[in-house]
Structure 1
Amino acid sequence: MLAAAQWVSTTTGRITTCPYSWMQAVHWVGGSGLYAPSRNYGPKWGPTTVLIAQELSALTECRPGVEYLARKLKLSRRTVQYHLDMLREAGLLVYRTKGTRITGSIRQASVYERVIPVEFDEALGIRTVQRDETAPAYTRVPIGIAEEGRKLIGKLAKKAARKVRRSRRRTPVSGRSRCTPMQGGTSASSPAGTSTSPSETELASGSTSHPTQKKATRGPQKLNKVGRRFQLGQELVTNVPWLQKASPCRVSWVARDCADAGWTWREVQAAAEEHSPIDPADTRRPSGLLAHRLKGVHLLYAKPEARQQLVLAWQESTAQEHFRHSGYDAPAPHAAPDDVEVSEAQAAFGAAVRAVDASGSSHAASTSDQTGLMYAAVSIDLKALSPHEIGMHRAYAADDPTYVRSLLDTLSDTAVRQLLTSKLVDQALAALRLDTPTLAPAF
């Protein structure tokens, strides 16, 4: 059947009323020899074709995915595609809607209709009728069969009722000749022309004292360390939105320490998005970002209880993040402030720095001085700060981890790390998690 006739609107066959009758047509096409493939390469019509048709007949909606069939039947994707093409060319499958294969979007599987070709009805003498004259021709239904076709339809019914299973691969037998059990030589002929009979003392006694061999009861195999790594990598790529474009093998290598420690994919996502959410559209190299976010977390959350608390805190923070940003319309994030506002903010920052210097020590400033310094840093450009002003911020961050948390609530994570360095920010966040009151200066 040509490609133009492989649609439900152009087919000459009729839509099957039940999967059982459709399998009869499948066996008839395979045994009649009328189908000739359009290609001279690839697999031929055989048990694998019937096996795939059997899976299609069991679907309520004939919408099979190539990945689903390949995984369930343990076949390659190309083999499944070849046999689906043969079923369409034989007139047994027609498109209702064709799937999409657009890169970067969700791929949709094709929706088929199981069709009985008109050649099958003519060969067996099946009479059909169109009950609704306004309906398309493919909606006609069978009402009887000729006497000469009853015997053949009975044979096809037995084949359709028999479940086809995938043949197990057998280990090939070695080409060398086998040894005989009675001390004979390994060759078919001997130089003497006769074989030597065994002695009476070497004959078996015939006793049946050997116990019955127990049957091996094997369950599902347990994954080893490498299998667990690949399993976690595949789960992360499947379930985490910003990792869907990454390679499962590379993600498995990045998260290998977490996999060895027994982490779940949800715990890995919570650890990666603990400080700030990740937008899939802004992620250019997901595996590199994951490696940066997971550095050392398997040591920080070594116990399962700590990981459970991490997941709970991450879920609550995610809900709050969506709540704060819902309906928020702001100007462009890179819009520069007015010169007057910059001047006022720099003046306020200078006043805050002078007040801290007047207090006698940069590490003993009051809470009000820290607050003024923080809000001055929010309003001005980070490039406009002097080394002395940056040192004041880092001194506050080293002494008081809550100061880092206040900046993170006001500024972006990137801006805070540029101002305080990533080392100070990570130390402050770790101290807040471990309830450590103070930190040692890191600069």
Structure 2
Amino acid sequence: MPAARQWHDSTPSRDARNPYSWLQAVHWVADSRAYEPQRKHGPRFGATTVRIAQLLAELTPCRPGVDHLARSAGVSERTVQYHLEMLREVGLLAYLSKGTRLRGGIGRASEFVRTIPPAFDAALGVRTVGAGIGRRVVGVAGQGRGRLAALARKAARTRRGKAKRRRSTGRGCTPMGVTTSGSSAEVPIGVPSENELAGGASTPTSPTTGTNAAPQPRKPLNRVGRRYQLAAQVARQLPWLGRAAVPRIAWILRHVADAGFSCEEVLAVVGLEAPARHVRRPSGFLAHRLVGAHRLYDTAAKREALVSWWRDSRQAERDRHAAWEASWGIPADRAVADLVAGVRARLAVGGKAAADAQEIPAAEVEDLAAEEVAELRAAAWTEFLSGRTALVSGTVQGLGRAAAERVYGAELVARVTRFAALNRAREAVRP
């Protein structure tokens, strides 16, 4: 059943009036083996699906949490998602509302309606009246009654839980060197006295604890663990990945993680292109930057050369930031320098009071020709987009922010100010 028909208002199935009838349909699908999942991997419809369906039959309303089903059935959350997908595809479940997953907030589970597919009615001769999901059963053909009775016996079976381990009623084993009748001269029992604690004497109360105990080796990470580890490291290094989910980042980094990339090598690949001004979809942006990276840099030597280039480019970036934050100088372009000199001469006519307050009356700025203002703004925008802010920064330092906004516009001046503040913050935290 396609995804568009897996909703309450579009499904061809009928509503199951009670969980008992619904479990009959679940057992029929499991016994008939007429359903094959659309995907080519993962589990198939079988005993685990029936066990999860029995858990769903106990819920009112049917709003299961994936983690709850995984704990109750003793399987992983991904396995539960596979079986819920199969129940929807076969027509046994339909969405009433789809859950949400917000990072940092409380997620809401999806709510389902238990339904019976039309194939079940056709195979067992169940007669219904009405239309849509609200169809009602009015009778059963003779050849289907025996099969319904057998399915009813299966649906009536109770789900067996895990057997609890019984504790032995006898006394436990006595540790070596310890007797049950009194204290031992070799191994003390109970808490040491205050005199021993004050004197610094300490004797282990258990023969298994001590400094000679060998430390347990840490279990090495498998492929999935390595992906999650790399995803967490990359998310800490890239600020624009702050709101992206770590499992999604791990899925994007699966190829480079399996190829043996380190966090620094991933950052070098991301830094091959110019940084984006706005990142609206961090995970999609990261996936675009890493397309084919595991095939292009398939050896350690290639990745080492890439990291060396990336470090050099970061050093060059620091040098450019230092040049941007330096005192303003005359533009190299002669035409732009003449325009700046003319603007400064006209704006300086306001008098000493206006110069001290760094406020230029609007009437004096209006004396500039429209062509000159347009040319100045175009030159300033071109300079800003190329990574240089000397023209706007010099005007702000020399004539004040108000005058710079009247000439270049408030938007450009605000961007230049934020850009300079960001560069100063980076230099402050850089070791």
TM-score (norm 1): 0.36
